[in-house]
Chain A
Amino acid sequence: MRIFQQICTFTATFALIFGGGVLIAMARDSSITLSAIVIIILNNLSPEAVRFLTSFESHVNETSYASSVYVKVTLFRWVNTAIITAIITPFMYTAQDGQHLIEGIRILFTAELVQRPLVQLTDWQGNLQRHLFAPRSKDQRRMNLLFSSKEYSIGERYTDVTKLLFLTCFYATIYPAAWYFAAATLSVYYWVDKFCVLRTWKQGPKISGKISIYSVYYFLLCIVTYSVMSAYNIAGFPFDNACETGEYLPEYYEGTYGSEGNGINFTISADDKVYKFCNQNLFRFFPVVFPPFPSDQPVGSEWMSETQLKYLPIYGWLCLGIIITVSAIIAIRLFVRSVVPLCFRKYKSQGRAMEDTFSEVDDIKGYIPNVDIRGYEFPYLMCDISDIDPELIGWSANSTVDPNSYNLTSDLPQVLRRTKSKKTIGEENPVFSKVMHWPPSSETESFQNVDMPSRDDSMLGACFRFVFQ
């Protein structure tokens, strides 16, 4: 069932990507700036759309859910930001001045550098909620909800980074300034994210390190992309589909053509050579050319300069080497993950075990079944909590909110009464999960007398902590 759900949501994601691609292509017909704006808007909307789609999937933990969102958002952003732009741009516009590919990439990088940090720092949605909607709420519960801050997703933060890295690797050969843009943007992201994580965003669920493991694959794919794009871009330069024939123009062509009025004015002299059409786009050669080498140029239609002839083989072999290495790394990792557990123990302890006991740790959360219900501040409990320490619930409201008022098990007798059912709930047929707690006798000892390290709450201390912690 879970696989079927994922197939459906991935299909919907591909449809979204296709729709986004069509929108970008339509905007590209109008202007390169408009297409960049459409890409930026789609990139901003994609996490919400993907989260909506992923809500139809069933995941046992937040790590799995976040990974699913991460894969889809990354796919969406990689394709719409880098790949679609490359596909819809005619080959001959690759390195031309004006409203063409390079200009589009420049706009995208500038937007990455400016737009996201601005939106994040101004937090316009949060400010609207707190200052405009919250004072007009109908009750305290709704006002409290409007004051709760945004929950951050580590997967989404990763997609921002991998998208930027992918865009850089995709176009860095024809637009080397991409490296500087990427470095500046990542620095800005680091500081803005640090500020938001420490000061404005709400802590999300504590997910495991799987997302960072997945990210390794994305970084490897970025390296592969860079090697492939470098090889093909070096082979395709100067992207004009024109090859020198070695002949000079006949005398009767000499002269000045065009007029100042329409902006086209050129002169043909006796030194000008004759060019003919030749396809320099090795990506679209048939049969497929991989990796590109100077020998792949059609006989009689060679366009590569001496520098290209010298360096292209190096790029070609490097590209092949990188692809083989990355494939081997991925294959080994998959082998270790799927075959090794068949013959060896999966669990291996790492590092030294902590000496603190569970009971000693303040603010620790137990495995208490609960469910988030939209529109409510706290999650609803799905078990009887009469036998457990209330601290294990993981949240505590003010004294006016009783955790039992957020307990779904209390509603069940009312449901049975409403439906006039004769069924009863007993120990032998519990409807909800059971939670038990056996605290050690030492837990009764008081920790109130333990000295806590003092904290400098001055402005200078806060700044120091923000920069160095």
Chain B
Amino acid sequence: MTVLQCPEPGILSRLLCCSAGPKALYDKVQAIDQEIERYVGQVYPASSVYVTFETEEMQRRVLEEMTYPKLCKGFVDSKYLFDAHVLQIDEPDEPSSIRWHDLDEKKTVSC
């Protein structure tokens, strides 16, 4: 509540720095809190997994064995299936390159 006791920013601060007042910030935080609360408790099935191998040889073996031509996915060896699903395996970018906040999936994939 101490935030609400802060003085409102002046016109210059509002115009030049896009400063919001303490009341606006407080309301925004409350709205975000409510949004977060809505998402908590829901079950999110995993749609992608990042795996790091101890050696490059291991990584290559997995990629060579488990990447299939798109038209041949029906003929995949059953030992490579996960819960009867064909895993789509790709070599990802470096960890510093992943934009984690943009990894949202389409409804059809996430459900």
In the complex, the answer to whether A358 meets B100 with C-beta atoms within 8 Å is: no
In the complex, the answer to whether B43 meets A62 with C-beta atoms within 8 Å is: no
Interface: A446 (CB within 8 A) = no
Stretch at the interface among A182-190, A399-407, A424-432: A424-432
In the complex, the answer to whether A347 meets B91 with C-beta atoms within 8 Å is: yes
The answer to whether residues A343 and B69 also contact, given A368-B95, A371-B100, A394-B96 and a CB cut-off of 8 A, is yes
Interface: B71 (CB within 8 A) = yes
Tally A residues with Cβ within 8 Å of B. 50
Residues facing B in A340-363 (CB within 8 A) are 341-347, 349, 353-355, 357-359
In the complex, the answer to whether A357 meets B55 with C-beta atoms within 8 Å is: yes
Q: Compute how far the CA of A65 lies from the CA of B97 in the bound complex, rounded to whole angstroms.
A: 10
Interface: B11 (CB within 8 A) = no
Stretch at the interface among A83-91, A117-125, A203-211, A319-327: A203-211
Interface: A440 (CB within 8 A) = yes
Q: Compute how far the CA of A353 lies from the CA of B55 in the bound complex, rounded to whole angstroms.
A: 8
The answer to whether residues A207 and B93 also contact, given A342-B70, A343-B69, A382-B100 and a CB cut-off of 8 A, is yes
In the complex, the answer to whether A353 meets B56 with C-beta atoms within 8 Å is: yes
In the complex, the answer to whether B99 meets A429 with C-beta atoms within 8 Å is: no
Residues facing A in B45-89 (CB within 8 A) are 50, 52-57, 60, 63-64, 67-72
Q: Compute how far the CA of A366 lies from the CA of B95 in the bound complex, rounded to whole angstroms.
A: 6
Residues of B contacting A288 in the complex (Cβ-Cβ under 8 angstroms): none
By beta carbon, the residue of chain B nearest A345 is: B67
Q: Compute how far the CA of A359 lies from the CA of B72 in the bound complex, rounded to whole angstroms.
A: 36
Residues facing A in B84-111 (CB within 8 A) are 90-104, 106
Q: Which are the 10 A-B pairs with shortest beta-carbon distances?
A: A367-B50, A206-B94, A353-B56, A62-B97, A423-B41, A369-B100, A347-B67, A61-B93, A419-B37, A205-B96
* A→B interface (CB under 8 Å): 1, 58-63, 65, 205-208, 341-347, 349, 353-355, 357-359, 365-371, 382, 394, 412, 415-416, 418-419, 421, 423-425, 428-431, 433, 440
* B→A interface (CB under 8 Å): 33-34, 36-37, 39-44, 50, 52-57, 60, 63-64, 67-72, 90-104, 106
